[in-house]
């Protein structure tokens, strides 16, 4: 191995004593490849196994905590105990290859396709489309409490299924994000209003998940939280709002925080003094040494990773690049970083072990992956 990449592949130990063999994590990515009943398929198992040998940890695609939270066709479910054998299959496939397996848990909220949730789309408040038609109804306070409980129940299933941790998905416009956003949360109860009240739902989920872990798992079970930096709309939450949330989350003794970025070195739109300063800098300054931050976003080459790691972020997640080249870590280990592939080869679906639904999404979404 080229010495300059040594730190990238050095071990990392969480505060709870769990050690990762290197700093490279597989980022969570929807793959649309489960069966109609929400069971993990052979194609999915093979896809994850192919990418789990060299990375230190795999964060799965998101899985719904309630039946009305399913956000994608072909999403694997975790909303009932009947799903535990399916969840267990996936955890085993990842762990057998030597990586930690972390289950990402979420509720899709207004993003749920109506046909997947019997037409009952819900959100923090009523949401209308551009034509004024109702897209989602507002959850009652009792329903909000039920969803918080459901995050706890899904965490218990993850523990029973053999996962090493869960990641609470509070990013990318899904339900937790919708509660934090003033655009989709106009509630007047304890779950809406001020910035502090808009944090109530995310923080209640964190507390519920942690309490279930304390009851059912040993201290090695990881709990992470993923968040988006800001919303593009003027009436959405700003980078400043997110820094307030992150500051609060960093005191919650989570094992890690994970930002959702398309570009690692992207800069804020608003809500901070200096919009030329990268979001990652603001986040790391806010978090300090309270909890590790996972950085992500358009990291393809070994040099990209080295540059990102040079900012001081302790852990890096690769998403699209591990689909493009599942041997990314191995090539660095073997001193073959010049052989890393950074654009998808559209002739190599079988060799890359990518399920048909995901492959079709990649090939038919120009600009999502380099090479398409």
Residue 53's closest CA among 4, 93, 1?
Answer: 93
What is the SS3 assignment for 137?
A: strand
Helices (H) and strands (E) in the chain, counts: 13, 13
The answer to whether the beta carbons of residues 50 and 92 sit under 8 Å apart is no
Q: Which distant-in-sequence residues (6+ apart) come within 8 Å of 246 by Cβ?
A: 227, 257, 283, 286, 287
- Give me 226's structure tokens: 């993923």
Length of the chain as a residue count = 372
* CA separation for the pair 187, 201 (Å, rounded): 12
User: Can 174 be counted among the known catalytic residues?
Assistant: yes
Catalytically annotated residue among 48, 163, 174, 256: 174
* CA separation for the pair 65, 150 (Å, rounded): 6
The answer to whether the beta carbons of residues 1 and 31 sit under 8 Å apart is no
- Give me 316's structure tokens: 């890096």
* CA separation for the pair 21, 10 (Å, rounded): 7
Q: Which distant-in-sequence residues (6+ apart) come within 8 Å of 265 by Cβ?
A: 278, 280, 297, 308
* CA separation for the pair 7, 310 (Å, rounded): 10
Residue 346's closest CA among 328, 370, 330?
Answer: 370
Phi, psi of 318 (to 5 degrees): -115, 130
DSSP conformation class of 364: T
Which H or E element spans position 100?
strand 100-106
* CA separation for the pair 132, 111 (Å, rounded): 17
Residues with active-site annotation: 174
């Amino acid at each position: 191995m080229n010495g300059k990449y040594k730190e990238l592949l050095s071990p990392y130990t969480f505060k709870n004593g769990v050690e990762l063999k290197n700093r490279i994590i597989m980022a969570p990515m929807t793959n649309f490849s489960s069966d109609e009943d929400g069971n993990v398929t052979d194609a999915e198992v093979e896809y994850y196994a192919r990418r789990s040998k060299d990375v230190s940890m795999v964060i799965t695609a998101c899985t719904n905590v309630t039946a009305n939270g399913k956000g994608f066709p072909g999403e694997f479910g975790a909303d009932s105990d009947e799903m535990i054998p399916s969840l267990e299959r996936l955890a085993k496939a990842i762990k057998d290859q030597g990586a930690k397996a972390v289950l990402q848990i979420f509720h899709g909220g207004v993003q749920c396709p109506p046909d997947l949730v019997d037409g009952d789309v819900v959100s923090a408040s009523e949401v209308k489309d551009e034509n004024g038609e109702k897209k989602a109804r507002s959850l009652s306070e009792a329903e909000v409490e039920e969803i918080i409980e459901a995050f706890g129940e899904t965490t218990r299933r993850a523990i029973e299924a053999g996962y090493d941790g869960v990641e609470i998905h509070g990013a990318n416009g899904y339900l937790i994000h919708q509660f934090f956003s003033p655009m989709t949360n106009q509630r007047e109860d304890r779950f809406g209003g001020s910035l502090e009240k808009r944090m109530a739902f995310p923080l209640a989920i964190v507390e519920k998940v942690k309490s279930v872990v304390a009851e059912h798992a040993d201290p090695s079970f990881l709990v992470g939280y993923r968040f988006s930096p800001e919303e593009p709309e003027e009436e959405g939450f700003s980078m400043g709002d997110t820094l307030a949330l992150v500051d609060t989350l960093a005191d919650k003794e989570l094992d890690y925080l994970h930002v959702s970025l398309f570009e690692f070195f992207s800069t804020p739109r608003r809500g901070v003094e200096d919009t030329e300063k990268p979001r990652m800098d603001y986040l790391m300054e806010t978090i300090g040494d309270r909890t590790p931050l996972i950085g992500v976003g358009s990291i393809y080459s070994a040099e990209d990773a080295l540059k990102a790691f040079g900012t001081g972020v302790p852990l890096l997640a690769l998403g699209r690049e591990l689909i493009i080249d599942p041997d990314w870590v191995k090539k660095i280990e073997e001193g073959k970083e010049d052989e890393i592939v950074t654009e998808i080869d559209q002739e190599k679906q079988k060799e890359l072990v990518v399920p048909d639904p995901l492959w079709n999404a990649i090939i038919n979404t120009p600009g999502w992956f380099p090479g398409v």
